[in-house]
Structure 1
Amino acid sequence: MFIQRRYPGHLFSAPRSFASLMELYEQNYIALRRLCPQLPAQGELRVSYPDGAPRLYLSVIEHTRYTSSLELTHRFDVASDGEATTPSLSVRIYHDARQAEVLLAHRNGAVDHQAFSRAGGAGELRVRWSANRFLNRWLHYCLGQGHSFSAERNAIAEPLIPAAE
């Protein structure tokens, strides 16, 4: 028997349903726009570095009239085994629909291009819901740490591709 739970502060009335996925896309858009009110130009890398928090990197990979694709990466210090942990997601923003969704998941430094299509049907919905729920929680975590890509806050712009010397 399915028991519907309502969580304070959450819009998700039926977790992992198509309707809740669409709500999640809307919430991701709102949180992403709070984090970055004005998207940088394509090919520009922005870095947010509030005191006491690891740097957060944002780069716009593609920008069209109705959509933008960006990469969001959180780089932590190098671990004791010499590996740097870098959670990273590719996100597509639909400006006209005011939605944002995860496109690709990066696991252990490798891009999982097939994650959504491999699942198929109801499994695809579950995988998309989980990936976008992670994005939603991550965006709120970053906002809570004081990250922002606005001009007034702790953010710098760097070229995405280093200049030739």
Structure 2
Amino acid sequence: MTAKPKYRPKLPDFLSLCERNFAQLNPLLPAKLAVGERQVIGMDDASYFRLEVLEVCPFTTVLRIVPLSDPAWPALQPAFDVRLYHDARLAEVISCHGRRGFKAVYDYPNSEMLQPDEKRQVNRLLSDWLRLCRQQGYRPEPVPG
């Protein structure tokens, strides 16, 4: 039996994923990118998410995306912190469900049972969520006071 080859990240593929996430996230952003600005996104009558600007720097912005509804299955409504790189037009997940600091590659098995390509997978999860927003016909909602 031959050993499975060690996972090696493909940087062009990862950057392409981050570029697509940036392009799909742009229409959802608050009109003004200033710390504390919020945008509520409705996907259907029961699913709402809040995008909040956490940090604004000359070339980057950090957003938090959190579900506002109390889901029966929390894993189906992810919470993300996403860093936007405006000059490179990339969006990268920096936190997902409270876990921060993803490595490019994890040894497997590991004590936390993270996948070798965990960083790519959480960015892919953001991509899938953004695609679902588009398919559901997301709509900006008034931000509650």
Give the structure-2-normalised TM-score: 0.74
Alignment partner for residue 138 of structure 1, among 109, 129, 144?
Answer: 129
Distance 1:138 1:57, change over 3 A: same
| Aligned 1:59-138 pairs, distance under 5 A | 59-79=52-72, 85=74, 86-106=77-97, 111-116=98-103, 119=106, 126-138=117-129
Distance in 2, matches of 1:70 and 1:24, equals 18
CA RMSD of aligned residues (A): 2.9
State the match for 1:5 in structure 2: none
Structure 1 length-normalised TM? 0.66
Structure 1 residue 36 displacement after superposition: 2.5
Aligned length: 130
Percent of residue pairs identical: 30
Q: Distance in 1 between matches of 2:69 and 2:92?
A: 24
Give the aligned residue type for 1:67. T
2:5 corresponds in structure 1 to none
- Name the CA shift for 1:99/1:39 in 2 (closer, same or farther; >3 Å): farther
- Aligned equivalent of 2:38: 45
Deviations 1:21-66 (A, max 9, x none): 0100100000001323735421122212255351111001001110
Deviation at 1:96, TM superposition (A): 0.6
Question: Hey, what does 1:147 align to over in structure 2?
Answer: 138
Deviations, residues 65-85 of structure 1 (Å, cap 9, x unaligned) = 100000011233453xxxx73
Q: 2:12 aligns to what?
A: 19
Task: Indicate conservation of the 8 Å contact 1:28/1:100, yes or no.
Answer: yes
For structure 2, the 5+ residue unaligned runs are 1-8, 108-113
1:19–1:142 Cα change, 3 Å: same
1:61–1:70 Cα contact (<8 Å) kept: yes
* Inter-partner Cα distance in structure 2 for 1:78 and 1:70: 21
Query: Is this contact kept in 1: 2:29–2:51, CA < 8 A?
Result: no
Report the Cα distance in structure 1 between the residues aligned to 2:116 and 2:34, rounded to whole angstroms.
32
Alignment correspondent of 1:28: 21
> Could you tell me which residue of structure 2 aligns to residue 157 of structure 1?
143
Partners of 1:119 and 1:53 lie apart in 2 by 36
- Deviation >6 Å, runs of 4+: none
Q: Distance in 1 between matches of 2:71 and 2:127?
A: 25
Contact 1:68-1:92 at 8 Å conserved across structures: yes
